[in-house]
């Protein structure tokens, strides 16, 4: 019935997260509100960290892809869990630094880092900068020289793998805005360019084949392709690549038909492939990194809304309107993402109704889910949308000048605010 171990139903028939009653939370904190289970987040971190320990003898690191959901408290938790952090912008980097996250465990990605972002990365001394293109390499080199620093870099590679996911979240194929192509020789050319470039030190290669991937095969395939590249680089240039970042993209459960595999089910075959390739090509097993985002945070949050009007259009459908929408969760309008929806106060009852959950924004496409099975819902009920921990708040906006929701964290049944609800005052604070 549930997408995460963090969820349950109590004796009142109310949905709980991390042991806290969602109906009570909605009453006390108001809606819309996003509620995370801290135990759930930590459990996911530990599962990945243990996997790295187990399959690579600890010779690796798990990076949390902060773009899934970043804030000061999230960075603090990631630090406590001994995770590294993957950032893709100055804002994500700034958040991590302000949270006291050790900068040597920060990895800076992005296909178009600005001059100022690169400068900021060098000033803060981030651990690795993942270079996306030759132009960026030149800018970084010049900047580092000016600042009297040397940047440890990775190159982002498009390994040319079809990961069977939505085309907007597929990133490993040749027609992608991210990174260097393998097939065309572009990647090898840039390796040679790196060797001649001052103030940069090429230590690793990186790939990320997409997101919400359930198949294990594409990950195994990517590992082989990347290991072969490391071997080719060594043979052609003598450069030893000692770190390999295999990216994130592990699928999670949004609806019953999603069948995610245990993290170990990725880690084991991928590690076996890495070791087999190392043997085959006569190279050392590199320091391995993985970058889960969605699979750390996604299933560990629910969004609670209050139901407003219910519009029954005979023979067509029933719209259940909520007090949020694409402003706090744009994933349906972006990629028709699946979600499980439930009435928080009737979580034990059968889902006899089929409704379309509509947001309050002025867009017909502003829906959270179409034709979703749900328990009886009426005006004033609390509607819970599950699995909203990744790419929801982080993709939220003030469209229609709607303030962003509050974000809560539950630990041992205790609820605390980790991001305050925006006010109308916040909405106009930068207006002149």
Instruction: Give the residues lining the site for ligand PLP (CB under 6 A).
Output: 65, 67-68, 86, 109, 208, 211, 247-250, 291-295, 390
- Cβ(345)–Cβ(382) below 8 Å: yes
Task: Rank residues 266 and 305 by Cβ distance to ligand PLP and give the closer one.
Answer: 266
Of residues 14 and 113, the one with the C-beta less far from ligand PLP: 113
Which one from 45, 75, 361, 362 is the annotated catalytic residue? 362
Q: How far is CA 207 from CA 107, 218, 246, 298, in A?
A: 13, 12, 5, 21
Q: Is 362 a catalytic residue?
A: yes
Any idea what DSSP says for residue 38? H
CB 341 within 8 A of CB 358: no
Which residue number, 220 or 390, has a Cβ lying nearer to ligand PLP? 390
Closest contact distance (angstroms) between CB of 172 and ligand PLP is 11
Question: What single-letter DSSP state applies at residue 400?
Answer: G
Please, what sign has the CA dihedral across residues 224, 230, 235, 236? positive
For 17, 95, 172, 198, 337, the CA distances from 301, given in Å and listed in that order, are: 8, 21, 28, 45, 16
DSSP state of 364: T
Please name the residues in contact with 107: beta carbons below 8 A apart, sequence gap of 6 or more. 63, 84, 85, 86, 87, 126, 127, 128, 129, 130, 154, 245, 289, 291
- Closest approach, Cβ 298 to ligand PLP, in A, equals 7
Closest CB 375 distance from ligand PLP, rounded Å: 30
Lookup result for tokens 């809606």? 31
* Residue 227 CB burial class (10 angstroms; 0-12, 13-18, ≥19): buried
CB of 302 to ligand PLP, least distance (A): 18
- Residue 383: enclosing H or E segment and its boundaries? strand 382-386
* Smallest gap from residue 301 Cβ to ligand PLP (A): 14
For ligand PLP, give the closer residue by CB, 14 or 253: 253
Residue 344 DSSP one-character state: G
In the bound state with ligand PLP, the residue whose beta carbon lies nearer, of 25 and 157, is 157
Least Å distance, CB 126 to ligand PLP, is 14
23 backbone dihedrals φ, ψ, rounded to 5°:
-70, -40
Q: What are phi and psi of 156, to 5 degrees?
A: -85, 125
Residue showing tokens 């993957």: 86
Query: Positive or negative CA dihedral for 154, 172, 253, 305?
Result: positive
Nearer to ligand PLP, 330 or 359 (CB): 330
Positions annotated as catalytic residues are: 362
């Amino acid at each position: 019935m549930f997408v995460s171990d963090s969820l349950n139903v109590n004796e009142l028939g109310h949905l709980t997260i991390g042991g806290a009653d969602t109906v009570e939370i909605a009453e006390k904190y108001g809606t819309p509100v996003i509620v995370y289970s801290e135990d759930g987040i930590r459990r996911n971190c530990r599962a990945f960290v243990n996997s790295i320990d187990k399959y690579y003898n600890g010779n690796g690191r798990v990076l949390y892809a902060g773009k899934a959901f970043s804030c000061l408290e999230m960075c603090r938790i990631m630090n406590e869990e001994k995770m590294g952090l993957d950032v893709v912008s100055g804002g994500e980097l700034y958040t991590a630094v302000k949270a006291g996250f050790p900068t040597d465990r920060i990895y800076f990605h992005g296909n178009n880092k600005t001059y100022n972002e690169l400068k900021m990365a060098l000033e803060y001394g981030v651990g690795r900068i993942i270079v996306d293109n030759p132009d960026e390499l030149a800018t970084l080199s010049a900047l580092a020289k000016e600042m009297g620093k040397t940047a440890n870099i990775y190159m982002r590679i498009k390994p040319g793998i079809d990961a069977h996911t939505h085309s907007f979240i597929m990133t490993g194929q040749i027609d992608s805005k991210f990174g260097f192509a393998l097939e065309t020789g572009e990647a090898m050319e840039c390796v040679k360019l790196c060797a001649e470039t001052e103030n940069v030190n090429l230590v690793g290669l990186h790939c990320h084949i997409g997101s919400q991937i359930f198949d294990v095969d594409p990950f195994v395939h990517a590992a082989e392709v990347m290991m072969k590249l490391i071997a080719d680089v060594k043979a052609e240039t003598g450069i030893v690549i000692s770190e390999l970042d295999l990216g994130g993209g592990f699928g999670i459960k949004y609806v019953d038909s999603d069948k995610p595999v245990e993290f170990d089910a990725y880690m084991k075959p991928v590690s076996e492939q890495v070791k087999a390739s190392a043997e085959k090509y006569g190279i050392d097993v590199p320091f391995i990194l993985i970058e889960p985002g969605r699979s750390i945070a996604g299933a560990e949050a629910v969004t609670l809304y209050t139901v407003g009007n219910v519009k029954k259009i005979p023979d067509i459908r029933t719209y259940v309107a909520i007090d949020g929408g694409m402003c706090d969760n744009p994933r349906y309008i972006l990629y028709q993402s699946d979600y499980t929806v439930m009435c928080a106060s009737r979580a034990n009852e059968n889902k006899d109704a089929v409704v379309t959950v509509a947001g309050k924004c002025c867009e017909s496409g502003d829906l959270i889910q179409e034709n979703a099975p749900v328990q009886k819902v009426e005006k004033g009920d609390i509607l819970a949308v599950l699995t909203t921990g990744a790419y929801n708040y982080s993709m939220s906006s003030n469209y229609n000048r709607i303030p962003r929701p509050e974000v809560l964290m539950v630990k041992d049944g205790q609820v605390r605010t980790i991001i305050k609800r925006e006010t109308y005052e916040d909405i106009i604070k930068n207006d002149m």
